[in-house]
Amino acid sequence: MQSKIVVALAGNPNSGKTTIFNNLTGARQHVGNYPGVTVEKKEGFCEYKGREMRIVDLPGTYSLTAYSAEEIVARNFIIEEKPDVVVDIIDSSNLERNLYLAVQLMETGAPLVLAFNMSDEARARGYEFDIEKFSQFFNAPVVKTVGHKGEGMDELMEEIIAVASRRSESLNRFSVNYGDELESEITKLESMLRRHFPLTDQYGARWLAVKLLEKDRDIMARIGSAEIDEQVERSAAYVEKMAGEPPETSIAGSRYGFISGACQEAVRSTIEIRHTISDRIDSVVTNRVLGIPIFLGLMYLVFSLTFTLGDPPMGWIEDFFKWSGGVVAGWWPEGSGSLLKSLLVDGIIGGVGGVIVFLPNILLLFFAIAILEDSGYMARAAFIMDRLMHKIGLHGKSFIPMLVGFGCSVPAIMATRTLENRRDRLVTMLVVPLMSCGARLPIYALIIPAFFPQVWHAPMLWIIYVIGILLAILSAKVLRSTIFRGESIPFVMELPPYRMPTFRGVLIHMWQRGWLYLKKAGTIILGISILLWAMTTFPGLPDEEAQRFEKEKQSVQASVADEKDKPASIASIEDARKEEELRTSIAGRIGHALEPVLKPMGFDWKIGTALIGAFAAKEVFVAQMGIVYSVGEADEGSETLREKLKDNYSPLVGFCIMLFCLISAPCMATIAITRRESNSWKWALFQLAGLTVLAWVITAIVYQAGGLLGIGI
């Protein structure tokens, strides 16, 4: 039986690589992360003429030099995993830039197939290619493809099988001639490497020597030799003296020189290159005056799609889980205090519902983002916002997740996947929760009408949102200047031609991320939901206390003459019982223990207990306060709860509650997804602790200053 062919798909961002991956694999694919990094790992399977293939979609990269995690992952897979075939997907309408990666792939000695994708666009621009010459220059077969139309897929599969069948034949490593000075220094390093380092068997001595002269940090760390480092420094100084430029610049120049020569020989322009439709659209959408308004308008549409159209299905999901909870609760007699019933209804069904209720938002968000990405507009959005975001140490792409954060932090953190640089991604991930999400709105809707007159309702809400934005900007600046300080990677992005997204591609992108959320984050969230259920349930009331409440209920049943008054009286006793259960629960006791810490912010144990519950989801704060003040099923519109809050706290405390809920640790879903997307509990816990400490400091300062100045007391 023939073994499965392992095929790696490589290529620049925006080369159409993902479209071809989807064409080849369809639904037979799965997404994860490479071990130890947050770089996405996509694999799929297909069969062609009886041969099974495992297709690995490598991260999009411009080169194989270790400037980013994506480049290291792509390079290591090709060199260490040694796939049977590497298919380099090339945007043939932008040939010279895309062939730079092809040259580097050839230098690794990998068995290569070049897919000249978007050949229809190249033809429309007046380019004709001599495929035979290109194949000879690069020692690899060349196939013309049009990914979004599915053209050239059979021809590509034929070449993959042909190259894989020749894999056992000895392959001559392709090499560019870098000129006399560089070649002499490469030879010296090759000789030293062959004598002392076993890595040469796997990587090739020449390839390692070139990488060392390019100052490739990953390779230099792997070699780890002072003797080699000294020789590299001597060689670099010699090359710079002779050529007048550093060796890495000279190497890049030689590669582009080879590419330019190949293109002159094998590319013919049949018509004068003119402004394309993409150019004309860009003259409007990237205009210095119109660019940002157009971008904000499109983002508003994405925002509306995600969080307005998502409301009905969210309501259906909530209704389904309420119905499910009612069905399960019906298995026990009315009023039953069964722990199993509480675990199933409040812990498991409530926990799963709390996860799945976000799914419509996530699917709609990534549906909209996939359309913008596949059409080519998202590259323009990042380009437009780069100047603004650069002032706080981030890039234009960071603006999109921050904008999404106004709806929900969970999909916003997932949206950071569009950022190539890990440092930018982590900073954005950490500050996204400061953008006031929709889950905080019930808290604002409860507090503002309770403590502030009608004329102040809109200004107070505006102030809270502005505080969040300013803190996010300031925090990003501080993080980039301290923990994540370092040289910014230049913001270089191709502006690909506009294309019509394929429905299939958009659906695949949308579902992959939705399924990942359900499968990974869902398990973590469910576990924490059960933990919080246990904290608010145990140890329960002592027997004598439980009996006292039962006697009070029996007394009401016997003594209250009016049948209409009995339910209200019994409900009042039940609310009092719930408050006492909460007071004696683990969460209640933690609230009491935390009271000395909460006091500088003006909070008591009751607010502290509600804040513990709000860790599951910010909206829970309202319901928890309702339980504390025995007002039954409270919501943000509960007048009774507002009146009780107004009676017990000052407007200053009310403002501080909103401030603390805005800044403090986000919900457990956000912590879980931060851990998932950063691939580290360290950053999730740093986010949890950092935001909580920041919230305490700012809220305490505001409360103490307000008290001294007599504001809102």
pLDDT value at position 173? 61
Query: Beta 267-269 vs 127-129: how paired, if at all?
Result: antiparallel
Question: Three-state DSSP class for 111?
Answer: coil
Round to whole Å and give the CA distance between 370 and 499: 12
Render 172-212 in DSSP notation, one character per residue.
PPP-----HHHHHHHHHHHHHHHHH-THHHHH-HHHHHHHH
Total Cβ atoms within 10 A of residue 396: 22
Instruction: Give just the sign of the alpha carbon dihedral 360, 361, 365, 366.
Output: negative
Q: Which stretches of 108-251 are assigned E, i.e. beta strand?
A: 112-117, 127-129, 142-144
Ramachandran area for residue 3 (φ above 0: left; ψ -120 to 50: alpha; else beta): beta
DSSP code for 348: I
Render 485-532 in DSSP notation, one character per residue.
-SPPPP-----PPP-PPPHHHHHHHHHHHHHHIIIIIHHHHHHHHHHH
pLDDT value at position 529? 61
Q: Which stretches of 220-293 are assigned E, i.e. beta strand?
A: 267-269
Give the closest residue to 90 by CA, choosing from 65, 113, 107: 113
pTM flag (> 0.75): no
Q: Which residue has the tokens 């603006």?
A: 399
pLDDT value at position 87? 96
Structure tokens at 67: 């400037």
Total Cβ atoms within 10 A of residue 143: 22
pLDDT value at position 274? 45
Report CA 176 to chain centroid distance, whole Å.
39
Residues of the chain with pLDDT under 50: 170, 272-275, 490-493, 521, 630-634, 638
Round to whole Å and give the CA distance between 209 and 104: 14
Report CA 217 to chain centroid distance, whole Å.
26
Round to whole Å and give the CA distance between 12 and 105: 12
Total Cβ atoms within 10 A of residue 261: 11
Structure tokens at 283: 């003259």
Give the closest residue to 299 by CA, choosing from 180, 203, 403: 403
pLDDT value at position 350? 63
Can you give the residue ranges of every domain in the chain? Answer: 5-165, 180-245, 539-709
Round to whole Å and give the CA distance between 542 and 277: 76
pLDDT value at position 199? 66
Percent of the chain, pLDDT > 90?
A: 21
HEC string for 604-644: CHHHHHHHHHHCCCCCHHHHHHHHHCCCCCCCCCCHHHHHH
* CATH topology for the 5-165 domain: Rossmann fold (3.40.50)
